Amino acid sequence: MRQRFKIPVIASSEITPESVYLKRRDFMQAAGLAALPVLVGASQPARSDVVTGGAPLEYRKPSSSAEGFSTDEQATPFSDVTAYGNFYEFGTDKGDPARYAHEMTVDPWSLEVEGAVHKPGTLHLEDILGGFELQERIYRLRCVEAWSMVVPWVGFSLADLLKRFEPKSEARYVEFETLYRRSEMPGTRSFTSTIDWPYREGLRLDEAMHPLSLMAVGLYGKTLPNQNGAPIRLVVPWKYGFKSIKSVVRIRLLEKQPRTTWESLAPREYGFYANVNPNVDHPRWSQASERRLPSTLFRPNRIPTQMFNGYADQVAHLYKGMDLARNY
Ligand SMILES: Nc1nc2c(c(=O)[nH]1)N[C@H]1C(S)=C(S)[C@@H](COP(=O)(O)O)O[C@H]1N2
Ligand SMILES: [Mo]
- Closest atom of ligand 1 to 198 CA is 1
The residues spanned by each domain of the chain are: 12-316
Q: What residues sit around ligand 2, an ion, with C-beta below 5 angstroms?
A: 86, 143, 241-242
Instruction: Indicate the range of 63-72, 111-120, 123-132, 145-154 predicted with least confidence.
Output: 63-72
Q: Tell me which ligand sits closest to the C-alpha of residue 82.
A: 1
214: helix, strand or coil? strand
In terms of phi and psi (left: phi > 0; alpha: psi -120 to 50; beta: otherwise), the region of 279 is alpha
- Cβ–ligand 1 distance for 212 under 6 Å, the answer no
- Cβ–ligand 1 distance for 228 under 6 Å, the answer yes
Q: 143 CA to middle of ligand 2, Å?
A: 4
The one-letter amino acid code at 142 reads R
Burial 104-142 (b: 16+ CB within 10 A, else e): bebbebebebebbbeeeeebbbbbbbbbbebbbbbbbbb
Nearest CA to ligand 1 atom 20: 228
Q: 135 CA to middle of ligand 1, Å?
A: 21
What pLDDT was estimated at residue 62?
81
Cα–Cα dist 69/255, whole Å: 30
Q: Tell me which ligand sits closest to the C-alpha of residue 224.
A: 1
Q: Tell me which ligand sits closest to the C-alpha of residue 101.
A: 1
pLDDT level of residue 52 (50, 70, 90 thresholds): low
- Give the residue-averaged pLDDT of 99-128: 97
- Closest atom of ligand 1 to 81 CA is 21
Q: Tell me which ligand sits closest to the C-alpha of residue 227.
A: 1
- Closest atom of ligand 1 to 229 CA is 20
152 preceded by cis ω (within 30°)?
Answer: no
Please choose, from the candidates 72, 123, 68, the residue with its C-alpha nearest in 3D space to the C-alpha of residue 235: 68
pLDDT in tens, 258-293: 999 999 999 999 999 999 999 999 999 999 999 999
Helix, strand, coil proportions of the chain in percent (round to 5)?
25, 20, 55
Sequence-ordered strand ranges (E) for 75-194: 110-115, 121-124, 135-142, 147-157, 173-178
Q: 241 CA to middle of ligand 1, Å?
A: 6
pLDDT in tens, 177-192: 999 999 999 999 999 9
The yes/no answer on whether domain 12-316 falls in CATH 3.30.540.10 is: no
Look up the pTM and report it.
Answer: 0.86
- Give the residue-averaged pLDDT of 168-173: 98
Nearest CA to ligand 1 atom 1: 246
- Closest atom of ligand 1 to 247 CA is 1
- Cβ–ligand 1 distance for 295 under 6 Å, the answer no
Q: 141 CA to middle of ligand 1, Å?
A: 10
pLDDT level of residue 39 (50, 70, 90 thresholds): very low
Average pLDDT, the chain: 87
Sequence-ordered strand ranges (E) for 81-239: 110-115, 121-124, 135-142, 147-157, 173-178, 200-204, 214-219, 222-223, 233-235
- Give the residue-averaged pLDDT of 210-227: 98
